[in-house]
Structure formats: C-alpha cells, structure tokens
A and B are shown apart, each in its own frame.
Chain A
Amino acid sequence: MKKCLRDEIPMAKILFINPVVREEDVPRHVPYGIALLAAIARDAGHLVQVYDANAWRMGEDILRQVLEADNWDVIALGGITTAYGSAKSIIGTARETCPEAVIVLGGGLLTSMPRDMMAWLPAVDVGVIGEAFITWPEILEMVDAGDRDWSQIPGTISRKDNGALIMSAQRELLNDLDSLPYPAWDFFPLEEVYFKNSEVLFSEEGMLAQRRIDINASYGCSLVCKFCFHLGIAGDMRYEEDSDGVVNPRFDVPGNHTRTTRYHSPEYIVKMAKYAKDTFNVDYIGFLDENLMTMDQYSGRTWLNEICRLWHENGLAPKPEFDSDGRMTGWTGMYWSGTSHATLCTKEVLKTMREAGCSHLVYGYESFAPHVLKTIGKGASRKTNIRSFFWTLEAGIRPVPNQIMGFPNDDFESLRMSMEAWKELGIVVKPHFATPYPGSEWFAVFRKSIEEQYDGDLEKFILEVGDATSISAVISQNFNAVELIGLRDMMVNGEHRLIDEYEKVWRRNHGIADGEPSTLVAGSRK
C-alpha cells in the first residue's frame, strides 16, 4: 500500500470501474456518482484511477490490462440495475486477476436487492447500500488501517467468515450536500468520448451542443410513481426485520412511501456550472435531477428562480450566434435542460427558465387516460398533462413528452385515448413498456409474477431488463408480451383499424362482451 506524501499514512490505491450500460447507444453520461466518489477519495489523499468501461467499450483484453496495471487495494464498481450483466462479468475478472484487492459494489443495482446481489456475486467483499458519501470514505479508512470488519461501518453488507451475509446499521443521508466536492470530471474521457457524444436530440440547442456535461442539483423526488426506484437516496429506504429476524431494506410498497427532500443551494449549483464552463469550456448542461419541479415546490417556489437569477448574474445565460442566413450556429454561455412535472410547473417559472437558457424539459406524461393516470401515483392528470404541454411550448421550451404503455390496467380504451392525444398535440412517440425495476413499488407488488415469468430465476430478469424500450417482465393485467409489442407498433403507426380488429379477437378470447370495458381488472374503470 502506498503512503500519502502529505502525512505518511498508508493510503489505499483505488481503481474505479464504470460498467457498461445501454450498450445499444453510445456513451453519453459521465457516471455522476462514481465521479463524486472519486473526488471524495482524491480529496482524502488516496491514489485514484478510473477505468470507464462504458465510455471506452474496449472488451476483456483491455480490462485485464487495466486490472494488471498496478497493485490495487480497492476495486470499486457501481451502477444502476441495467448495468448488472457488465458488472457481474467485470467483478469475476477482477477477482481472478486481483485476488487480494477489496472489491466494493454500490449504487442502485446493489441497493435494490443487497442479499440477492451478494449471493449472485460472491467475489464482492462489501456492498454499499444507499448513499455512499459517508460510507465510502469510512471503508477507505478501514482499508488504510488494515482492518476488514465492514460490519462496523453503517450502510454496508458483507460476509462473515462462514460466508453468511451481515448487514450493518442503516446509514443516514448526508445533510449538507454543499459539502460535497465537484465530480472528478477530469478522471473521465471527456475529450475522447463524452464531448463527442454531446448531442441530445430533444431540442435544437441540444442537437447543436458540442461540449455537454451533466450536473445533479438535487436528490430524490416527492412523488410516488409506482414504476420508479429512487436508489435509496430519497428517504425512500427503511430497514425492516421480517418474521425470521432477517433485516432487509424496504422501499415503496402500497400505502407506505417515505421521502427526504434534499437539494444543493442555488449558489453551489451555479458555481459548479461555472466551474464546468471555465475548466472544460462546456456549452451545455444537462440536469440529471429526478424532478426539478418537486424541488422548486418544496423550496416555496424560490429555488429555480434563484438558480436562474444567478445563471444570468454569472454570465452563463446563452446568447445565440447566427450565420448570414440567420441559422443558429452556436452561442456564448450555456443552454441547459432537465425534468419537469405536469402539475407542479407554473407558467411563470417556465418563462424564467427559458430566459436563463432552458432548451427542453422532460415530462413523464406516461398516459393520457384518466383511469390509468390515477393508478400510477404520478399526481398528474390528462388536464395537467395538456396544460403543461402548452405552457412549456408558449415559454419557448420544448416539452419532451414521455409515454409508457403496458401499465397494469391499460386497456384498449386507454391506448386509444393516448393515441388521440398524440394526434391532437402533435406528439411523435414510441412508448416505453411499463417495467417493474427492482426497488419500485411494482417490483414489490409483482415480484412473484416476475419470478414466474423467468422460471423462478430472478437473476435472469435482472440480466435481461433494459431501459424499457424493449419488453422484459410484463405487469399488464390485460395484455401479454406479444400483444403489447404488436399494439405498440399499431399505436405508433396510428393503425386504428387493426387495433379495432384485434380488440374483437381479444374480447372473444377473454369472454368480454361488446360494450363492456375492455379490461380484466375488476373496478379498473370506476
């Protein structure tokens, strides 16, 4: 182990590896959590290297070279559930190549089901459950001290000598978010990979972005969407003991949703954006926040106004530049984008955001059918979906209207309602499939059904589940996977006649008479 030159204390030598995710697309996002944890380790005096496997997409040979490049004390990985396949492969190679290294796994993929993950990944020494900002440096201190009693560190899961899993006490969330360093963006291939993939095809300004970077201004979301997992960092996680005395983290379940709302100060956010501009010549900022509007509402409608005011005050508000034909070619300052909410946005804040350079806002409209919307916990309605759509357009911001199909009570009528709205509003969309990601309420509700769909092998589901553009476990109570895929194709192409024809077959198959609601879900349409 190396010694820190500053104080001659042995300091761990750390290799972060970012697993591959969304392999069907180019890498677009510096992994924010890993970049923050790398900065925390660096600031504590550790020797840190990052291998961003998702950015480089280099394969097994380069991975082995990376693992053999030094004597790593700690190899740390993290990611969301859809990175599981890559993480599993990397961890296996890491253990084989670096038998003495401490392998640490964190992020949403570990947090959502820590006992399952530790069982499927026996090479992992210690898992970090939930937020790692406090837990991670404590793990490194223990490595520095030559100890391995991870159970003394809250927020971990580890193994006893006999292999049994041991979960330590729950870790509290960090109160003072502004105490965090800025992400160690310079530890990632910005020039080689990420800036080349700056384009975001959600707005004209996003399309023209040349040097985009993402920032995260808040943690969590006050809403209780049943398809959402908040990574255990939104106050959504609590430890519960079952009847056998086994403790497990629990997340949203029907009737039990807990939340802690946290956000950076506007001063911190704008200073960080200005740092990105000054250091990396960034021209576009993507806010990764789950939902900017829930934070704004929680702040008493001051947060976004203050961010926008400071954006102007620091000279970050973009000024477009045009060629002789009047086409925009670039800009000074930085455009930016983020997430909004149909019910929580206001006309006034949208106008203020546009004036500060907001180019597009993602809305999870999900559906335009009232009987579906009221079951998903979104706190939005058809009316507020449409209202926010026009408010956003009128402000000069492009709304990005996400849609989902295959909700538990989606039926022919709800699909038609969404199609009508797409036509009326000019929305061009290919809906995602409702997917029960681990940690979400619908994962808890439908777990038995999910396991049955994968021959009782939950790991098969975890290996298959992607970003919901393709189908995995079905939670629709009315349609199977074949029907959902076919119906989505007909919806996207506006083929009402084919949908009408198939509904006749479906009604015959299920014994549902004409004139009755096209659903197998009792009470769905009341």
Chain B
Amino acid sequence: MTSVLKGNFAPKKDVKPAAKEQEDLEATFEASALKRLGGSIAFVSKKRVNWDLEDK
C-alpha cells in the first residue's frame, strides 16, 4: 500500500493503511447490491443492524 500523503518532503511519520480485505469485500458487495436495489434485490447492510433490538 502506498502512502496516503503525497507532497514534496518526507513527513516524520508515513501513513500507509493496512489492507482491509474482509471489510472491502463486504463494502464491495453492498455497493454492488445497492446499485441494483429494487424488485427481488434486497440485502442487509450489516453496519446498520441494531443487534440490541428487543421485542416491544
């Protein structure tokens, strides 16, 4: 992964994000599904799930 900082000198600390393959796959799936939303295409956005939901 290359640095996210670009310029004309080397900063004291470089910033190179670690690869986040699992998250990327999930994000890619959800973005792709969102583009085709409608009809029988529906999906769960995992980050939005309220895991503490209780029956009222």
Residues of A within 8 A of B (CB): 38, 42, 47-52, 56, 58, 62, 65-66, 68-71, 186-189, 192
Contact = CB atoms under 8 A, between A and B. Distances in A.
A69 B11 contact: yes
Interface string B36-51: 0000000000000000
Contact of B14 (A48, A69, A189): A69
19 contacts: A42-B8, A47-B7, A47-B8, A47-B9, A48-B7, A50-B5, A50-B7, A56-B4, A62-B4, A65-B13, A66-B4, A69-B13, A69-B14, A69-B15, A70-B11, A186-B6, A187-B6, A187-B7, A187-B8
Contacts of A68: 13
A100 to B, nearest CB: 15
Contacts, number: 54
B15 A188 contact: no
B54 to A, nearest CB: 30
A188 B6 contact: yes
A58 B27 CA distance: 12
Contact of A51 (B2, B5, B8, B12): B5
Contacts of B12: 69-71
A49 B9 contact: yes
Nearest to A14: B7
Contacts of A38: 7
Interface string B14-28: 110100000000000
Main secondary structure of the interface of A (DSSP, over half): mixed
- Going nearest first, the 9 A-B pairs with the smallest beta carbon separation are A49-B7, A70-B11, A69-B13, A69-B11, A47-B9, A65-B15, A187-B6, A48-B7, A49-B5
B15 A189 contact: no
Contacts of B8: 42, 47-48, 187
Contacts of B14: 69
Interface residues of B, number: 13
A451 B11 CA distance: 44
Nearest to A186: B6
Main secondary structure of the interface of B (DSSP, over half): loop
Nearest to A187: B6
A202 B12 CA distance: 43
Given A49-B5, A58-B4, A58-B17, 19 more contacts: A47-B8, A48-B8, A48-B9, A49-B7, A50-B7, A51-B4, A51-B5, A51-B15, A56-B17, A62-B4, A62-B17, A68-B13, A69-B5, A69-B11, A70-B11, A70-B13, A188-B6, A189-B4, A192-B2
A458 to B, nearest CB: 29
Contacts of A65: 13, 15
B5 A66 contact: yes
Contacts of A58: 4, 17
Contacts of B5: 49-51, 66, 69
A128 to B, nearest CB: 20
Contact of B6 (A47, A70, A71, A189): A189
Nearest to A72: B11
A50 B6 contact: yes
Contacts of B13: 65, 68-70
Contacts of B2: 189, 192
A189 B15 CA distance: 14
Nearest to B34: A24
A66 B12 CA distance: 10
B17 to A, nearest CB: 5
A52 B3 CA distance: 11
A401 B2 CA distance: 39
B15 A66 contact: yes
Contacts of A48: 7-9
Of A52, A69, A189, most B-chain CB atoms within 10 Å: A69
A522 B25 CA distance: 55
B45 to A, nearest CB: 14
B17 A49 contact: no
Nearest to B9: A47
Nearest to A2: B9
A447 B13 CA distance: 46
Nearest to A65: B15
A151 to B, nearest CB: 30
Contacts of A52: 4, 6
Nearest to A49: B7
A71 B6 CA distance: 16
Contacts of B4: 51-52, 56, 58, 62, 66, 189
B2 to A, nearest CB: 6
Nearest to B14: A69
A192 B1 CA distance: 9
B3 to A, nearest CB: 9
A66 B5 CA distance: 7
A305 to B, nearest CB: 37
Contacts of B17: 56, 58, 62
Of B2, B6, B12, most A-chain CB atoms within 10 Å: B6
A71 B11 CA distance: 9
A58 B19 CA distance: 11
A445 B5 CA distance: 42
